[in-house]
Every structure is written in structure tokens, then in C-alpha cells.
Chain A
Amino acid sequence: MANIHEDGLKYLEEFATRIREKVVETLLEAGSGHSAGPLGMADMFSALYFHILNHNPKKPNWSDRDRLILSNGHICPVQYVTLAYAGYFPVEELKTLRKINSRLQGHPHRGSLPGVETTSGPLGSGLSQALGVALAAELDKKKYWTYCIASDGEHQEGNFWEAVMFAGKHKFLNIILIVDRNNIQISGYTEKVMPLEPLRAKYEAFNWHVLEIDGHNIEDFIDAVSEAKAIYEKPTVIIAHTIPGKGVSFMERDYLWHGKPPDKDEANAALKELRTLGDKIQSEY
């Protein structure tokens, strides 16, 4: 499929790397926060905010905008960086993450920062909020799409499956669920902590349409979103297989990087690795 031309795709891929760099810088400055998830989701955030979403950073409350509900609020550094680059607030403000008097709370707070649609952090509650937003769209006969990003680990919450069940009942809603299947959670690998597999079969049993993609392949992701919009007899979940810590070799696939930031040396090593990827990006740092 060709839902994006080659130049556009290259731009999104390069932007994903810029997002990763800024995530590393922002986490170093914050001194606490989560590294693996934000780096793993950078490709999809680049695609969402610079290609897929119908949004206007100058009018963050525009009533017809597409909504992105971030259920796993702990990966907010990647959303904050992307929002800043998209023009929702000054990039400089990223330095205030997790600090006193900041609009950039450790976990997202609706009302503090433009572009943040819901308060999140406590896991398992994002999909049902997204369903509420999508129900409102249906009641108001609005055409916007509601996207929900959820982690794999939060599928261990009961609230999550209550929402999955509800979506199987209200199947005509304009909603797309994106699951970050990175196989890690704070204390280990998901399949050791509490196995989620067979995840695809679980969704199918709940009456969902399931698409599985490589979460770092932006073209595949854009195609999957396009297909999800065409499937209107069922809600669609895109299970995006991602590498936690993607782009920083010593963080990749290591669950110990779920919930900690890099120190100065680690950040320098990470930035060096990210910046030399084909010499594509000149850092402003």
C-alpha cells in the first residue's frame, strides 16, 4: 500500500531519531522517569503527530480534532517531546519535566499541558476513557477518530479487559487501539511476571479485529491505521511489536531500563549512538 510517499516516510523516520535524542536529553535533565517505553514508541509518535492525526497545535481544543489517549502515562516523555516539536509548547520547556511549578508533570495531567487529552499513569484505565470519548463523538455525530495507546503490561489490570469487552459490544465506534507490545514491565518480562499470550487470540475472542506490525516500521504502521479505519464492523487493535529502548543498544530489550533515566555518561553514550545513525541528524545540543 502507499499511504505515504518516500520523502514523507524518510522525514518521519528522521524525526523519530530526533525525538529519541530529545527524550534522552529530557530524561537526563529530569533525573527520574522512564527510558525504555518512550524510546520504543518514538517511531509511532513521529508518525502519529506528523502524519496520521488530524490536529492543530495552535488550537489544542479544536472540537473536531482526533484524540490521542495515552493510557500508559509513564511513557509521557515521548509524547511531551513530540508535542513540543509539533508546536504545542516551547521545546525549551522540556527542561522542566518533573520539576516544581512545571506544566510537564511526571505523569500527564489534562489541563496542565496543551495536547494532553487525559490524566493518566495509573494503568488500565485509558481504553475505557477513549471509549467514552468515542461514544461522545457518536452522540454528537462528529467524525473525529479516537486513538488509544496502551502498554502490554497494563493488560494485567481488570479495568482493561472490562473496556475490551465493552468495545466488542459498541463495535461501530471510531476508535483504534495501539498496543505497545515490548514484552517488558517494571519487574521483568511480561511472560514471566504474568503471561499475556496468546494476546492476538484473546482480542479475537473479544470480537476485535487484530493487526500485528513491526512497531518500528512507520510505513507498516500508517498502512495498519488506514486498514483499521476501513474495518468498521469491529473495533481494531494494532499490536505493535517494539523493542524497548530502541536506538540505544545498551537499553534495548533490558527491562531494567523500564523505569529509570540515564545518568550523564549513559546519556552521552546514548546520544552519540543516536546522532551517528547514518549522519542524518545534526543535534542542537
Chain B
Amino acid sequence: MLNEKLRINKKILENDFEKKPIRDGFGEGLVAAGEENKNVVALCADLMESTRTEAFAKKFPERFFEVGVAEQNMATIAAGLGISGKIPFISSYAIFSPGRNYEQIRTTICYNDSNVKIVGAHAGISVGPDGATHQATEDIAVMRALPNMKVVVPCDALEAKKATIAAAKVWGPVYIRLGRAKSAVVTTEETPFRFGKAELLWHPTHGRQITKPDVLIVGCGTLIHNSILAAKELESDKINVSVLNVHTIKPLDEHAILNHAGRAVAVVVVEEHQIAGGLGGAVAELLARALPMPMEFIGIRDTFGESGQPRELIEKYGMGVGDIKEAVRKAMKRKGIV
């Protein structure tokens, strides 16, 4: 069942749940961060509407800078602002920033230790009809490999809002990854968000009693909803699953992952990203060192996406609820269970 302490939106288990683009939450969070701290500034590369920086630009025109279609310039101007007491948020599609401007981010933001927040919108395959050129599916791997960089992947609009406000308060470079499509609002205003702390959204129950999971699902971003739906369906098949939302991939909440994985026999990692180098890689690096156990990975399998509707793409590329359930069963089989 849903972890009641976290005030998760119960409607997500039904069919009429609220949907909202994750990037909307970023736009709201940016305005809130700007209200809290006058040093928050925003830069945009001709995608003010798409990345939802419009509200900030209207409210704080003197703190908003349009750089045109020039992501390398956006990152490096922000680097200069960030070493001069400002807290710049730079936003574009993830494929362009941090895609095109990787080296500038490495040298002038990370190695320079400049207080820049990089917001990559339209990440993942669920970008949809624009096709593979615009679907960033490698960005987590690239960003989490950078020294000094922190990486956050919010699971819905509300979490994106909280993550944005939190990122403004955390010193140093932060990458925030946002999806494009309208997606389920999993959390509520009351759900806590602690930067760097994973939250257990779903735990197996026997009656009202919380029981031991067979498998721990570790997920992030847009696929948290599918993970919870898979956990619920597996429950009726008498398979016990926990779902841990690791919104902060770096620094990784090692304590929470080891704690929850330690109660299960296997781990399934779920993310809308290449299997290589993403959250799955981060969790595997931890478990291989501290708690070796069977793992399965839900994600994109070393391929580019294509045009299509978000839901169709998630299904076609193996990240649907059925795929997650299958991965859980496969992981259990490796331990001789099921």
C-alpha cells in the first residue's frame, strides 16, 4: 500500500488521476525561488514557453536573460554569474543543455565550482512526436559522472517545484531533469521533499501490517507512477514489492537504498533513460560494493527512440507496467522464488 506518512496522492491508483507536465512545477518553483532570494536569475535559449521560465521572466524581467539559440553561451554566461554571487538557472531541452554544452558545463560550471542550476526539459523518450533527435536519454549518465555535480530527477510537477526551490538553496552545480508530457501527479503538497533523501512510496502489507518485500523497486522520474501500479498489481499475485523514489541520484541516498534492499532478495531499477550509466548504474555501483544481490534494469536498451505518443513509446521501449512486473518476476526467479 501507499506509504501513508508521505501523503501520496491516492488517486494515482485509480483511472481519473490528475496529470500535469513536470516542467510546470519547475516554472512555479523558479518563481518561488526568485521571491525567496533576489540572487536567483534565469537564462533561457529561445525556449521560454517550453521550459516554463515565462512566469519568472514576467515577474523579474531584470533578472531574466534571453541568450537566443546558444546553449554554450547560456552555460558560460551563467558560470560567470554563478561565481559572482548569483544563482543562475539555465533551461533548455536536455538534449541541448546539458547535451550540446557538456564541455562548458564541465569546465566553467563544475571545475569552476560555479553555483549554476541546469534544468533539462524534454528529457526521456516520452518527449513523443518530436522524435529521437529531441529525446535526451543519456543525460543522467553524463551529468552524474561530473565531479561537483548533483543530479535530481523529480517524479511529478509538485516534486519538480520542491526540487527547484531546494536546488536554489544547495550550494554548487545541480542538474534537474524534467519530462515533457503531462504525467501523473503522484505526490501532494504535503509530501516531504528532502534533497538527497530517498522516500519509500509503497510498501507491501498483510492486512494493515507492513511486511517484508520480496523485491525492491528503485525508481525515479516519470516511471515512478508505473512502478507503483506494478507494485499494486503484483500484490494481488501475492508478490511483495517496495517502491523507493530516488529523486536525487547524486548524492545517492546510500543509507536508504541499502536499508530497503537489505530486506528484499532482489532489486529492480526503473528509469526513463539508457540502462547504461543512469540510476541503475548508480545503484549497481553501490550494491556491487556493499550488498551484492540480483538486479534487473528497466530502461532504454542502447537504442534511439522514435516519433510516437508518449504512452506508446514507453510501452514499445519496454518501460510499461507489464515490463516492470516481468522484471520483478525475473529477479525473483534468479533467487529460486516464484
Contacts and interface: CB of A to CB of B under 8 A. Distances in A.
B105 to A, nearest CB: 11
B113 A163 contact: no
B107 A122 contact: yes
A130 interface: yes
A212 B68 CA distance: 29
A181 to B, nearest CB: 22
B70 interface: yes
B63 interface: yes
A135 B68 contact: no
Contacts of A139: 41, 62-63, 86
Given A118-B112, A121-B107, A122-B107, A128 B76 contact: yes
Chain A interface, DSSP helix/strand/loop, else mixed? helix
Contacts of B79: 118, 125, 128-129, 132
Nearest to B110: A119
B307 interface: no
Interface in A96-136: 109-111, 117-122, 124-125, 128-136
A136 B80 contact: yes
Given A121-B107, A165-B68, A132 B78 contact: yes
A162 B100 CA distance: 14
Nearest to B66: A169
B73 A133 contact: no
A128 B78 CA distance: 8
Contacts of A140: 84-85
A133 B83 contact: yes
Interface string B104-128: 1001100111000000000000000
A69 B86 CA distance: 17
Nearest to B79: A129
Q: Interface residues of B toward A: which range?
A: 20 to 34
A130 B108 CA distance: 11
A129 B111 contact: no
A136 B85 contact: yes
A166 B111 contact: no
B76 A125 contact: yes
A159 interface: yes
Interface string B58-95: 00001101011010110011111111111010000000
A213 interface: no
Contacts of B65: 135
Given A110-B113, A118-B108, A136-B85, A129 B67 contact: no
A133 B111 CA distance: 17
Contacts of B88: 132
A158 interface: yes
B224 to A, nearest CB: 35
Contact of B80 (A63, A111, A121, A132): A132
Interface of A: 63, 69, 109-111, 117-122, 124-125, 128-137, 139-140, 158-159, 162-163, 165-166
| 4 closest residue pairs by CB, A with B | A132-B80, A136-B84, A162-B73, A128-B76
